């Protein structure tokens, strides 16, 4: 743990924003560059050392003085405070990773960049050498031309702590291996004390290495065998790394019509009833002063650093007027959007006690419906010590004011049971303050697409994010499993895992009550091919029949418990093998193998419980049989969505035409992989 965390800012206005976003951690001190101008990372370090007298122990200095001009959607907040996929800021992740490093007992100053996340073998880092020790890893000329490069004794193939012979900035090299600077620099306290006499200016990755090489202090580099950078240097990188490659939406409270390549951030409630953006259009809203909003509209490839747009919009002055209390208040409403899932093979093997006794193996796909992630949860903190709940699709509202309402026995028919259970499994207490919760699922009821579990997962994720508690997809999935047990509806883990992990994946567990997930995703090439295959031949049809999954669940679990002649256990073993076979088929583009696995899955569902189908469903399947290569009902079956694979693109067109004419409340839906 660090004794002190210093965040540097370019000016006092930016420092106010950083203080507002780090409030609550008493270790954090935000220090603005003097004179209202940027003085460089070396100058900012010297300034911090001068201002914070008596520093000792383990101190982290995170340099965050940039304007974030290439990512205007977060220019007001700063790149260090871009929210990662788990809802926590990049800064929170940086601190967490830097705390994995083993620093000397006598402490020192650890310097890092506020816009880069690093993943390497933290345990092997050695900072016991005197003076200054950097961290580097070997890579090729492409990375060398984009970063600082260490030249060390022993060359790029050496490992361990080496003496630095030279330091180059973005050298023009075309071949060979080079020691790439990670931006991490450890400075022992005698050297840090000596730095106080330096001018308050300069770059710690440029001027400072020259000083060290000239004899200011011993200079070493700690060479790691490999390192992974996570950096968002442009709006397009934001879109690809944190969005879905096509859209990125964060802290937005309005309906959206997005044509693609859109970034929308920080849109407050009431600003727009509906926002429509053409391809490549982006928007962020800046709260200025007490009641003004500035709608910053830009294009996906605008970078505001070289094209004059920063000056055209007058952003240097507007950033000084940003009201961070308003910004944070608006952003305190956490929004989580999740896709649905189509189970392709292995379902039921994920359900307790089956997975506890035999382990599970499920292949499924995260999908969007009609171009959207249809499961949406919004959670905001409120001053009153109560929980206000609204279900948009059910047109229900309510207020929870007592612990008994949350932790008491649940009625699965109660429209608010899901919210109460989510609050219970995440340990909510009224002493933590009140919450305003809004849930929405734009899916037909009883769909078989995992909606209830996915809504539960979105709720758990939002509640943990609001509470500032760390979480990942696996922990959210297990909490959702407990949520369903709390509701007394039962269920497994594949629904929530299907939505929490993007794209197509095989999810496996070993037997035991502690289910540890092994998730294998398709390669990008295979996933792209499968997406095209589904686009050409996949059909998703709502049968018009609503059903309760728990009714089928009871039948399956009763049959499994009885296990006549070992048949139930044999079917589960087959389900698991077929899931692995299905994944392998799709991985190599074997579409016949995939279709066979889907058909086998449907047959085994019906073998486990005849309630998985009914005469109406069989009538629909018979009607489209001439054009069908594979078919299965989503989830537990008994109604809901039907997933089918047509024999050809022409067959898909004919099948959809036949289904559209069938009536009975059914309809075909557009769907696509959520990658």
Digit-coded pLDDT (tens) for 80-89: 999 887 677 8
pLDDT, tens only, 371-428: 889 999 999 887 788 999 999 888 899 999 999 999 999 988 899 999 999 999 999 9
pLDDT, tens only, 317-358: 999 999 998 898 778 778 899 999 999 999 999 999 999 999
Answer whether 0.95 is exceeded by the pTM.
no
* CB proximity list for 132: less than 8 A, separation 6 or greater: 185, 186, 187, 188, 191, 208, 212, 217, 218, 219, 220
pLDDT, tens only, 104-143: 999 999 999 999 999 999 989 999 999 999 999 999 999 9
Q: Residue 508: which of 395, 652, 349, 285 has the closest Cα?
A: 349
Q: Where are the domains of the chain?
A: 4-228, 235-331, 524-673
| Statement: residue 24 has pLDDT above 80 | no
Contact 58, 104 (CB under 8 A): no
Work out the average pLDDT over 596-605: 96
Measuring CA to CA, how many Å separate 550 from each of 30, 147, 419, 492?
Answer: 53, 56, 18, 11
Least confident of 81-95, 491-505, 647-661: 81-95
Neighbours of 631 (CB within 10 A): 21
Which pLDDT value is given to residue 547? 66
Contact 539, 646 (CB under 8 A): yes
| Statement: residue 291 has pLDDT above 80 | yes
CATH architecture of 524-673: 2-Layer Sandwich (3.30)
Q: Residue 471: which of 84, 139, 135, 45 has the closest Cα?
A: 84
Instruction: Please report, rounded to a whole number, the percentage of residues in the chain having pLDDT higher than 90.
Output: 76
pLDDT, tens only, 204-252: 999 999 999 999 999 999 999 999 989 999 999 999 998 888 898 888 8
Contact 669, 552 (CB under 8 A): no
Which pLDDT value is given to residue 256? 82
């Amino acid at each position: 743990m660090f004794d002190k965390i210093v965040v540097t800012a370019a000016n006092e206005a930016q420092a106010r924003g950083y203080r507002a976003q780090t409030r609550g951690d008493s270790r954090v001190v935000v220090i603005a560059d003097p004179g209202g101008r940027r003085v460089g990372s070396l100058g900012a370090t010297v300034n911090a050392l001068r201002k914070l007298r008596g520093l000792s122990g383990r101190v982290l200095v995170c340099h965050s003085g940039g304007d974030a001009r290439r990512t205007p959607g977060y220019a007001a907040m700063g790149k260090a405070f871009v929210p990662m996929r788990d809802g926590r800021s990049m800064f929170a992740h940086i601190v967490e990773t830097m705390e994995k490093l083993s620093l000397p007992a006598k402490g020192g100053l650890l310097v890092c960049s506020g816009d880069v996340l690093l993943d390497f073998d933290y345990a092997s880092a050695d900072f016991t050498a005197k003076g200054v020790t950097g961290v580097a890893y070997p890579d090729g000329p492409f990375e060398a031309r984009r970063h600082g490069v260490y030249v060390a004794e022993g060359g790029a193939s050496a490992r361990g702590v080496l003496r630095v012979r030279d330091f180059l900035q973005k050298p023009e090299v075309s071949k060979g291996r080079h020691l790439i600077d990670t931006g991490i620099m450890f400075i022992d306290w005698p050297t840090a004390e000596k730095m106080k006499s330096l001018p308050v200016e300069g770059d710690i990755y440029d001027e400072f290495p020259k000083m060290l090489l000239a004899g200011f202090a011993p200079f070493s580099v700690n060479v790691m065998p490999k390192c992974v950078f996570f950096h968002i240097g442009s709006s397009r990188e934001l879109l690809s790394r944190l969005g879905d490659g096509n859209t990125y939406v964060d802290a937005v409270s309005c309906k959206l019509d997005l044509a693609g390549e859109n970034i929308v951030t920080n849109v407050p409630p009431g600003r727009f009833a509906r926002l429509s953006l053409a391809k490549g259009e982006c928007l962020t809203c800046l709260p200025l002063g007490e009641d003004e909003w500035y709608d910053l509209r830009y294009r996906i490839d605008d970078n505001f650093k070289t094209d004059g747009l920063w000056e055209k919009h007058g952003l240097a002055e507007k950033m000084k007027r940003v009201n961070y209390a308003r910004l944070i208040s608006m952003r305190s409403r956490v929004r989580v959007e999740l896709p649905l899932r189509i189970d392709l093979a292995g379902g039921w093997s994920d359900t307790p006690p089956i997975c506890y006794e035999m382990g599970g193996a499920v292949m499924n796909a995260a999908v969007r419906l009609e171009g959207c992630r249809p499961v949406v949860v919004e959670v905001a903190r409120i001053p009153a010590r109560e929980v206000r709940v609204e279900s948009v699709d059910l047109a229900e509202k309510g207020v929870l004011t007592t612990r008994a309402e949350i932790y008491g026995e649940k009625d699965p028919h109660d429209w608010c049971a899901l919210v109460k259970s989510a609050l219970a499994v995440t340990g909510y207490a009224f002493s933590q303050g009140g919450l305003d919760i809004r849930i929405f699922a734009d899916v037909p009821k009883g769909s078989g697409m995992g909606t209830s579990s996915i809504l539960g997962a979105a709720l758990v994720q939002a509640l943990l994010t609001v509470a500032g508690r760390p979480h990942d997809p696996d922990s959210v999935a297990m909490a959702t499993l407990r949520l369903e047990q709390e509701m007394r509806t039962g269920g497994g883990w594949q629904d929530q895992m299907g939505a929490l992990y993007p794209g197509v994946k095989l999810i496996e567990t070993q037997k035991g009550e502690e289910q540890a997930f092994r998730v294998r995703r398709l390669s990008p090439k295979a996933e792209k091919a499968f997406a095209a295959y589904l686009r050409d031949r996949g059909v998703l049809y709502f049968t018009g029949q609503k059903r309760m999954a728990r009714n089928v669940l009871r039948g399956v679990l009763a049959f499994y418990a009885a296990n006549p002649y070992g048949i139930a256990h044999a079917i589960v073993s087959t389900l698991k093998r077929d899931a692995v076979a299905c994944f392998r088929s799709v991985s190599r583009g074997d579409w016949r193998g995939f279709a066979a696995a889907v058909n086998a899955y449907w047959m085994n569902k019906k073998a486990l419980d005849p309630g998985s189908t009914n005469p109406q469903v069989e009538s629909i399947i018979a009607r489209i049989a001439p054009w069908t290569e594979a078919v299965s009902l989503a989830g537990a079956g008994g109604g809901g969505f039907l997933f089918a694979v047509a024999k050809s693109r022409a067959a898909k067109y004919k099948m959809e035409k036949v289904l559209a004419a069938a009536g009975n409340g059914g309809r075909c839906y557009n769907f696509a992989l959520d990658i």
